[in-house]
């Protein structure tokens, strides 16, 4: 279920959509003019806005730009014109999706759920950012200041594990058990060797660390250069 705001001046379309969307479990607020819609989008903070472009007081495209200047709320435009150039303009202006009238409540509901799913997936982006280091566990790509860093699978796992715990000292025992899946100690040398390879690829050394800091007798800490002190 989502909290929707429907900005639509046509009473017949509005009551049809409101009824159908409520039947599908959404909470629906409505506005019949652009200015009231804008106000409601700001005051009531809906999960998603459905915006009819043909409003009595404001051009829908104009309203879209006004709304985007102050809010990132997911938004679907409903347009009466199946005009490709117009649709591209609306998407460029910040609409997340569009529907051409006439459309059914089922179509609108499907678009609403798709846009909200996309938003949730973006929020769940697992990329870890530490200073200028970006670690994407889905693609297993690492970039340092935008430049790809070529790591072996083990080096990636080591860096990723340290990045999850960025700012904290991770013990060698934990690294052995989590990254190497070796439950008992005794392979410190393996970690040291991999750390030195990783350092070289990140353009630093144990003597002049930037991201990888050895804490003698305890373990390793990954932190951004500006946070290292
Ligand atoms: Ca209208």
Assess whether 50 and 144 both reside in one domain: no
Total number of domains constituting the chain: 2
Tell me the CA–centroid distance for residue 142 and ligand 1, in Å.
Answer: 48
- pLDDT tens digits for range 3-16: 999 999 999 999 99
Assess whether 15 and 117 both reside in one domain: yes
Tell me the DSSP string of 82-112.
--HHHHHHHHHTT-SEEEESS--HHHHHHHH
Q: Are 128 and 160 in contact (CB under 8 A)?
A: yes
Tell me the CA–centroid distance for residue 57 and ligand 1, in Å.
Answer: 10
Tell me the CA–centroid distance for residue 91 and ligand 1, in Å.
Answer: 19
Tell me the CA–centroid distance for residue 117 and ligand 1, in Å.
Answer: 27
Assess whether 133 and 119 both reside in one domain: no
- Residue 228 clears pLDDT 60, i.e. is over it: no
Which ranges constitute the DSSP H helices of 146-225?
153-164, 172-178, 188-201
**Closest-CA residue to 90 (of 109, 67, 56, 70):** 67
- pLDDT tens digits for range 106-148: 999 999 999 998 887 777 778 899 999 999 988 899 999 999 9
Assess whether 145 and 68 both reside in one domain: no
Between CA 203 and CA 201 the distance in angstroms is 5
Residue 129: give its domain's CATH number: 1.10.10.10
Between CA 157 and CA 163 the distance in angstroms is 10
Q: Binning pLDDT at 50, 70 and 90, where does residue 172 land?
A: confident
Q: Binning pLDDT at 50, 70 and 90, where does residue 218 land?
A: confident
Assess whether 117 and 131 both reside in one domain: no
Assess whether 88 and 23 both reside in one domain: yes
Between CA 13 and CA 71 the distance in angstroms is 26
Tell me the CA–centroid distance for residue 154 and ligand 1, in Å.
Answer: 58
Residue 21: give its domain's CATH number: 3.40.50.2300
Question: Which of the pair, 156 or 70, is modelled with greater confidence?
Answer: 156
- Residue 194 clears pLDDT 80, i.e. is over it: yes
Q: Are 185 and 199 in contact (CB under 8 A)?
A: no
176 Cβ contact list (under 8 Å, min separation 6): 182, 183, 184, 185, 187, 190, 191
Tell me the CA–centroid distance for residue 10 and ligand 1, in Å.
Answer: 5
Which domain does 67 fall in, by range?
Answer: 3-123
Assess whether 84 and 153 both reside in one domain: no
Q: Binning pLDDT at 50, 70 and 90, where does residue 88 land?
A: confident
Assess whether 114 and 153 both reside in one domain: no
Assess whether 199 and 104 both reside in one domain: no
Mean pLDDT of 40-45: 92
Assess whether 55 and 76 both reside in one domain: yes
Tell me the CA–centroid distance for residue 56 and ligand 1, in Å.
Answer: 7
CA angle 72, 76, 78 (to 5 degrees): 140
How distant, in Å, are the alpha carbons of 163, 178, 228 from that of 154? 14, 11, 24
Tell me the CA–centroid distance for residue 25 and ligand 1, in Å.
Answer: 24
Assess whether 110 and 218 both reside in one domain: no
Res 142: pLDDT: 96
Please, which residues bridge with residue 52 across strands?
A: 78
Tell me the CA–centroid distance for residue 100 and ligand 1, in Å.
Answer: 12
Last residue of a domain, one of 78, 106, 123: 123
Tell me the CA–centroid distance for residue 12 and ligand 1, in Å.
Answer: 10
Assess whether 117 and 159 both reside in one domain: no
- Rounded to two decimals, what is the model's pTM? 0.58
């Amino acid at each position: 279920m989502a909290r929707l705001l429907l900005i639509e001046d046509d009473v017949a379309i509005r009551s049809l959509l409101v009824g159908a969307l409520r039947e599908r479990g959404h909470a629906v607020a409505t506005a019949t003019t652009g200015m009231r819609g804008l106000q409601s989008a700001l005051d009531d903070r809906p999960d998603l806005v459905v915006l009819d472009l043909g409003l009595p007081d404001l051009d829908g495209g104009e309203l879209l730009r006004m709304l985007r200047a102050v809010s990132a709320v997911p938004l679907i435009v409903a347009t009466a014109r199946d005009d490709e150039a117009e649709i591209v303009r609306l998407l460029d202006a910040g609409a997340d999706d569009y529907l051409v009238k006439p459309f059914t409540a089922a179509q609108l509901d499907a678009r609403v759920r798709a846009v909200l799913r996309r938003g949730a997936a973006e929020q769940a982006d697992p990329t870890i950012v530490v200073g200028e280091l970006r670690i994407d566990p889905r693609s297993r790509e690492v970039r340092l200041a935008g430049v790809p860093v070529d790591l072996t699978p083990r080096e990636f796992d080591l860096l990723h594990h340290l990045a999850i715990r960025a700012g904290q000292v991770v013990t060698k025992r934990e690294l052995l058990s989590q990254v190497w899946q070796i439950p008992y100690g005794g392979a410190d040398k393996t970690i040291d060797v991999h750390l030195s390879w990783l350092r070289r690829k990140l353009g630093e050394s144990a003597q002049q660390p930037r991201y990888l800091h050895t804490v003698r007798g305890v373990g390793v800490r990954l932190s951004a250069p500006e946070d290292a002190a």
